[in-house]
Amino acid sequence: MFVDEVTIKVRGGVGGSGSDAFRRESFVPRGGPAGGDGGAGGSVILEVDDQLSTLMDFRYRAEYRAERGQHGQGKSRTGRGGENLVLKVPPGTEVHDAQSGEYLGELLEDGERFVAARGGRGGRGNIHFTSATNQAPRTWEPGQEGEERTVRLTLKLMADVGLVGEPNAGKSTLISALSAAKPKVADYPFTTLSPNLGVVTLSGFRSFVLADIPGIIEGAHEGKGLGHQFLRHIERTRTLAVLVPVTEPDPLETYERLRRELRQYSPELADRPHCLVLTKVDLLSPDDPPPEPDAPEAWGVYAISSVSRSGLDALQEGLWKTVIETRDGEGSAVIRERETGGAGDEPGSEGEDEAVGDPPTGPEDEDEWWGADPL
């Protein structure tokens, strides 16, 4: 089952309370306070696991709570901190506050972490409340409550190329022909009910990820058909492939209709680089050439047949070239941002970095901090 949106309640562990204890030892009268601090509560942490592709694990459990911290003990012993609760999520997961709708963050890379609910701080024991006028304090602090929050997890699949088309446009057949993915293929509309991912492998150890989403019909941005429920899964793609069967009465009009639906859903998505792919050319008679629609905004027009594999090699190479150019463009933008970052800061501003190699001063100096003699 493919689950791409869930709402869960997370709560950090309660911190342990401080201890109210005194030192009791033979031949040591008036040993004084010896109550240790309570341990901190555990936090609820979301961590990316690239082996996951769905949020189904959260469907059957709505609340998650981390372990509480242990109370402080005598002899100035601090209580054990609570264990963090690590929840595994697939890459491409966005985190929102379910009540306010506030965007909290996203998790993209394998191993990346996000603290959804922090644990409470442990309370202080009575050793911290000693003074000249109160040398035997009975005061201690309770542990703090952990952070509690209801979050909405939304999955946006991570892919390089997204396939867009109306029902029965040949998207599932194409992804099964280019990759090892085995989506359901049938001769009726809306065969695909959930997104599919496939890895396209080319010669020279080259590869890219292809995403197939359910078919789009006119009015999808208003909720018709499957609506825009799955359009978010192609928002992270670097390029789109708009599929139009050659059997359409007017392929150009179908192409423009799909572009309008994308623009009404997200102007940014509609402005993404795309190519026009004319599918099912094997249904044409040998004497009928495939149509040549005028699509100046597309970076390429391809006529293919997934059944006979006609035109697939040219399509794969075109998609690969565009993906690489987009990746290089993103990398150059990051480099330019790093090179120019902070260039406009005034001298002595907060953004000015400290000199590399300067020795630490003050309490940071390890020898001075521990009272050791300089070497």
Domains and CATH numbers, the chain: 1-24+31-127+139-155 (2.70.210.12), 161-331 (3.40.50.300)
Confidence of residue 219 (pLDDT cuts 50, 70, 90): low
Of 140-144, 188-192, 305-309, the range with the highest mean pLDDT is: 140-144
pTM assigned to the model: 0.67
Stretch 155-181: mean pLDDT? 84
Cα 248 to its chain centre, rounded Å, is: 38
Q: Is residue 338 scored above 80 in pLDDT?
A: no
pLDDT digits (tens, 9 = 90+) for 32-90: 899 999 999 999 999 999 888 788 889 889 999 999 999 999 999 999 999 999 999 98
Stretch 148-167: mean pLDDT? 88
Contact 330, 303 (CB under 8 A): no
Q: Is residue 344 scored above 50 in pLDDT?
A: no
Higher pLDDT: 330 or 107? It is 107
Stretch 246-263: mean pLDDT? 88
pLDDT digits (tens, 9 = 90+) for 270-279: 888 999 999 9
What is the structure's pLDDT at 51?
A: 84
Q: Which residue is associated with the tokens 């480099």?
A: 335
Q: Is residue 358 scored above 90 in pLDDT?
A: no
The strands making up 113-117's β-sheet, listed across from edge to edge, are 85-89, 44-48, 113-117
Question: Coil, strand, or helix at residue 354?
Answer: coil
What is the structure's pLDDT at 191?
A: 55
CA atoms within 13 A on the CB side of 191: 18
Other CB atoms within a 10 A radius of the CB of residue 358 amount to: 7
What is the structure's pLDDT at 52?
A: 85
What is the structure's pLDDT at 14?
A: 95
- Distance between CA 27 and CA 165 in Å, rounded? 87
Stretch 128-132: mean pLDDT? 91
- Distance between CA 75 and CA 55 in Å, rounded? 47
Q: Is residue 159 scored above 50 in pLDDT?
A: yes
